[in-house]
Amino acid sequence: MPDHPRLTRSMTKPKPGIVHLGPGAFFKAFGAIYTQDAIESHGGDWGIVAVSLRSATARDQLGPQDGVYTSVSLGPSGSDTKVVGVICDVLVAPENPDAVIMAMADPAIRIVSLTITEKGYCYEPSTGKLKMDHPDIVHDIAKPGNPRSAAGYIVAALAQRRATGNKPFTVLSCDNIPANGKLAREIVVSLARAADSDLADWIATDVPFPSTMVDRITPATTEADVERLAASTRYLDPACVQHEPFRQWVIEDDFVDAERPRWEAGGAQFVADVEKHEAMKLRCLNGTHSALAYLGYLAGYETIAESVADTAFAKFCQKLWAEEIIPAVSQPEGEDLPTYCAALLERYQNASIRHRTWQIAMDGSQKLPQRLLGTVADNLAASRPIQGLALAIAGWMRYVGGVDESGQAIDVRDPLAAVLREASAAGLDPSSKVANLLDIDAVFDTTIAQNPVFREAVMSAYELLCKKGSRSAVEAIADEKTSRDR
């Protein structure tokens, strides 16, 4: 890599008003930029203390740059860069848990936000309940002053706020989970109740947990991305982040004393109920993203853009939207679902965004219930088709088996990876592999897993994958006539 000086701060560092748990690429491409836009337009002490709950990578990248980094917007016709300086400190929780709790307990902090991915909530995706036997939760119940989980830190900090007579902070989930605010409330209150019912009651009554819908395609930053940025800017920034130009943030307007940044300056939408927007995004975007991730990976495609450049995969997405997903989505106010989905395909086709199928395929056991299985359940109840969704689920099943169509090992990253691989390997034929995986109740609710129409659809799709391969299976489903067309 060329010898360039490191990016340094030239802008004033804002005073802290937010603690953010999980300062990964999406946070830097999304919430941090909205917050900087709000400060630039309306001022306010809304600097962000970024807290990594596991790795020191964020601190090691951002620390030498005094918290600043470069946002790179990748459009079909070129890129735009912007230096973001809203982060005022970076903490690594395992190195100093007390420092994190003290930062969150500071009355100057009015919002604690989260991008910790589905698995960071330590919950059972099929039920939405806190997993009391999760190792981090077991630890946090035993040692509440030395937490490991996001919920553990929130409970510890809120306990200090209550003990000192200070107002609570707002807990703002920004993860791709339905009713993410309700989920955050459920896990935090459940953990608090395990130790102190009075504290749990106070949190349930006094702490807002607004739900949000977040949307910006953000691939993982590679060393090549860092090198390209260095060549164009003449500085080194290992903390840089790449993202598409599009962004959408819909937020329930429920904050302690109505204190929040003026995020609407960057286009954020404040609503009374975000549920319909969440469902639209999770089912239309994330549902097809997951379908393309598993089926595209198995077909040999490295990125989403490469997948939909294949007309079979593009037609498959369009058929999924038109026949199986849009009929199961209530149209949010101000949105047109066919237009929204047409725009999604254009976003997927942006070849400047190298969003890897392997990256999206991570943690599928946590994602399937929200992204695909809810749509399946609604369609079964309404006697609508599920063939395309069944193929996507079968693609996931083939993927988590750990071997691709050419016999090469797949690096499956999932909290249940070993369980999934064992269940698949124990099956002697496609039907038994599918049956074993459907029996994993951490992923599949019993009602849907035992539905004969669903079981038959997934088994048929899995057999089709084994017989024809992913691309031919996708093409077959994409070209299949619906019953009303025959």
Domains and CATH numbers, the chain: 16-271 (3.40.50.720), 275-479 (1.10.1040.10)
What is the CA 237 to chain-centroid distance, rounded? 24
Among the listed ranges 32-36, 127-131, 259-263, which one has the minimum average pLDDT value? 127-131
Average pLDDT over residues 322-349: 95
Q: For the purposes of burial, counting CB atoms within 10 Å of the CB of 453, is it exposed (0-12), middle (13-18) or buried (19 or more)?
A: middle
If we measure between CA atoms, which residue out of 115, 121, 89, 114 comes closest to residue 102? 89
Strand-pairing partners, residue 69, are: 84
Check pLDDT > 90 for residue 2: no
**Contact of 231 with 79, CB cutoff 8 Å:** no
The mean of the pLDDT values for the chain is 95
Say if residue 40's pLDDT is above 80: yes
CB 379 within 8 A of CB 389: yes
Residue 483 pLDDT class (50, 70, 90 cuts): very low
Provide CB contacts within 8 A for 418, sequence distance 6+: none
pTM exceeding 0.85: yes
Percent of the chain with pLDDT over 70: 98
- Opening angle at CA 348, ends 225 and 337, nearest 5: 140
CA–CA–CA angle 116, 329, 272 (5° rounding):
65
